[in-house]
Structure 1
Amino acid sequence: MEHPHAFNVSGPRKLPSINWKDLINSTWKDPNYKRTVMACFIQAVYLLQLDAQENRSKENGLAPKWWKPFNYRLVEALIDERDASIFGAILEWDRAAALQQLLLIKPSGAPRAVLALRGTLLKAPTARRDIQDDLRFLAWESLKGSVRFAAGLTALRCLSDKYGSANVCIAGHSLGAGFALQIGKELAKQGVCVEAHLFNPPSVSFKSVGGMVWTRIKSLLPLRGGGDGSRSVVETEMKQWMPHLYVNNSDYICCYYSDAEVSGGAKVFVAAKGKQRFVEAHGLEQWWSDDLEMEMALNNSKLISRQLQSLYSSKNP
């Protein structure tokens, strides 16, 4: 019996076949295809850890089937030194595999390398450290104190130095999306803007909820003095980096990212399926589903604006 996480069982059904024609009209320029591939790469990271936990070998492992159809190869697995779990992976364009499909060069829009980061696995032995970082975000709305942040930042910086930031992507789901957002922001502060695809990024923290309450209170109070003259400068800088956020309003972990604001700062896509159960709304599988319907809600949200503004300000948190 096939494993429920096998690519041919739960993976995308209507993948276009990549061949020499992509050298003329690249499938990678289709944002739906790129979103699908990024989600599959993150699923591969989940399965790398599960393969290790369930003692599957490289020959019968589930994870490779989630990157090989797209002509990528695993270069390095990122290991959490606290529990030896796999939390991320570096995938690079596999030229040898692509040549078998008569792809002499990499199609336009295909990244040279991708850093993919998984979210929380509620299964020993990694559950303890995953939850520890979940609580870190909940308490501080920051993941910078985690060893995973430092390892991810080093990996992404090295890839950007090697291939150029325009040829690299970072992608993450849930907790992994939280890391990807903060790692991407850290590099953006240094003028290195890497394409980012963030699925169900965490938006709920004591800080964000408290900030929303305070914003409501301030809206009831009369304004004093003029506006902040530095705001337009910050907003201009924010537009230099435009991460792609994929959220579902039935997912209470990420739903606050769809709280609208007028200024630019991120591309926020909202799953348009109506009311769903949390497990479905927070799941990664929805983002490669054939019947996925999305709406591009806005160019920004109040939450992403505040988070980006904090990193482009002169004072680091």
Structure 2
Amino acid sequence: MICERDDFSLTGPLHLTSIDWANEHHRRSVAGSLVQGIYVAERDRQLQRDGPELALSPIWSEFFHFRLIRKLVDDADNSIFGGIYEYKPLSQTVKSMELSPRFVVAFRGTVTKVDSISRDIEHDIHVIRNGLHTTTRFEIAIQAVRNIVASVGGSNVWLAGHSLGASMALLTGKTIARTGVFPECFAFNPPFLSAPIEKIKDKRIKHGIRIAGSVITAGLALAKKATQHYNQNDRASPAPPDPFAALSDWFPRLYINPGDHLCSEYIGYFEHRNKMEEIGIGFVERVATQHSLGGMLLGGKEPVHLIPSSVLTVNLSSSRDFKQAHGIHQWWREDQKFETKVYQYK
């Protein structure tokens, strides 16, 4: 039996018969559909839906004149975790062609099916432990992105992902951005690992908790940095470039639903910076925003979810449950209300 969410004719953005690449709704919808195409490609594989008569994944990209030219396959369980799409438009149906991508690299999230669930959960744990960069999936992904960027340039490449796939898109994007190339990145429901402070209704209590957290985090970060400098006996040497600030001109697009506790903390993460500036202690938050308590305790690399700047889109429409709030289909629905804000780290 075909799952409704896999069937483009039932749940896809059929209303987008003509694309305007300057339209945010169109761009968001296409990026989301391409990510959904990777989900469906993996379910096609697991259910052995092969060939044009059975496979449900091609229409999710071909409807918009994209073709899946390469599947990114996990080296352990052979699951499809991502894919590379090439854009082959019919010019008469396209507006603002100069804003379109030539290639889109898309990553799916966790698929709760027996053939892939154990490997996906393993990567979910890597996200929690700030170790996604150590996985072979990341090695496969970053090499693919580097090759495309080297071939056609970063401005012609989009990255897109949902949930676990959003973490992969952000990590590959951050890695490429550190070289001075800023690809467009569409991260749908990206995990933000933190206590669910955003769920607190009382704004004063919520703000107080965030201030306390910022002070503690900034203090620990500065103490750790001072200790490292002392141990290295380099107190007289010039300070190294700030790797966090170096990413401030990269603006990944984050799509957040307040009802999704896995990603909703992004709302407070960015709003809190502005509030700290308003009360005159923005310098504390500029340090704290680069670190997480969990990350410092684990001693790992910089958490994937911490980013300097973003174009943050929040779905203001109510969701009936967590499943809907975390789902990708919401991002191309016409009946949803979205609010977008731009945040830049300074």
**1:141/1:11 CA distance change after superposition, 3 Å:** same
Check if 1:190 corresponds to 2:161: no
Q: Which residue number corresponds to residue 263 of structure 2?
A: 254
Give the counterpart letter for 2:57 in structure 1. Answer: A
Question: 2:192 touches 2:266 (CA, 8 Å); kept in 1?
Answer: yes
**CA displacement at 1:190 relative to structure 2:** 1.4
The match for 1:165 is: 154
Query: Is 2:13 the counterpart of 1:12?
Result: yes
Say whether residues 1:271 and 2:315 are aligned partners: yes
C-alpha displacement of 1:142: 3.6
- Number of matched pairs: 282
| Residues 71-101 of structure 1, C-alpha deviations (whole Å, 9 max, x = no match) | 1111100000010000001000125xx26x5
2:108 is the counterpart of 1:118: yes
Change (3 A) 1:191 1:155: same
| Distance in 2, Cα, partners of 1:130 & 1:136 | 10
CA positional deviation for 1:3:
5.0
Is contact 2:105–2:158 with CA below 8 Å preserved after alignment?
yes
| Structure 1 residue 299 displacement after superposition | 1.2
Report if the CA contact (8 A) 1:90-1:113 is conserved. yes
Show the counterpart of 1:46: 39
Q: CA separation of 1:92/1:217 partners in 2, compared to 1, >3 Å: closer, same or farther?
A: closer
Match of 2:72, SS state, is strand
Cα deviation for residue 205 of structure 1 reads: 5.6
What is the aligned counterpart of 2:99 among 105, 109, 114? Answer: 109
Task: Give, as a single letter, the amino acid of the residue that structure 2 aligns with 1:250.
Answer: G
Q: Confirm or deny: 8 A CA contact 2:189 2:262 kept in the other structure.
A: yes
Farther off after superposition, 6-15 or 123-132: 6-15
Aligned residue runs from structure 1 range 1-317, under 5 A:
3-4=3-4, 5-18=6-19, 27-59=20-52, 60-94=54-88, 98=90, 107-138=97-128, 140-204=129-193, 216=212, 219=215, 237-259=246-268, 260=271, 261-262=273-274, 265-274=309-318, 276-299=320-343
Q: Structure 1 regions of 5+ residues with no counterpart?
A: 19-26, 310-317
TM-score, length of structure 1 as denominator length: 0.80
Contact 1:242/1:265 (CA < 8 Å) preserved in 2?
yes
Distance 1:232 1:162 in 2: 29
2-side partners of 1:61 and 1:72: how far apart? 16
Deviation at 1:275, TM superposition (A): 5.5
Contact 1:44–1:67 under 8 Å retained in 2:
yes
Aligned equivalents of 1:217, 1:153: Cα separation in 2: 33
User: What is the identity, as a one-letter code, of the residue corresponding to 1:109?
Assistant: L
The 1:194/1:102 distance shift into structure 2, 3 A limit, reads closer
| SS of alignment partner, residue 59 of structure 2 | helix
Give me the whole-angstrom Cα distance separating, in 1, the residues matched to 2:146 and 2:184: 13
For the Cα contact (< 8 Å) 1:73–1:91, is it kept in 2?
Answer: yes
Q: Root-mean-square deviation (CA), in Å? A: 3.3
Identity %: 32
Contact 2:174 2:247 (C-alpha < 8 Å) held by counterparts: no
Distance 2:96 2:210 in 1: 50
TM-score, structure 2 normalization: 0.73
Q: Which amino acid aligns with 1:62?
A: L
CA distance in structure 2 between the aligned counterparts of 1:119 and 1:127, rounded to whole angstroms: 10
SS in 2 for 1:108: helix
Cα contact 1:29–1:108 (8 A) shared by 2: no
SS in 1 for 2:171: helix
Q: How far apart in 2 are the matches of 1:220 and 1:149?
A: 32
Alpha-carbon shift at residue 17 of structure 1 (Å): 2.4
Structure 1 distance, partners of 2:93, 2:210, is 58
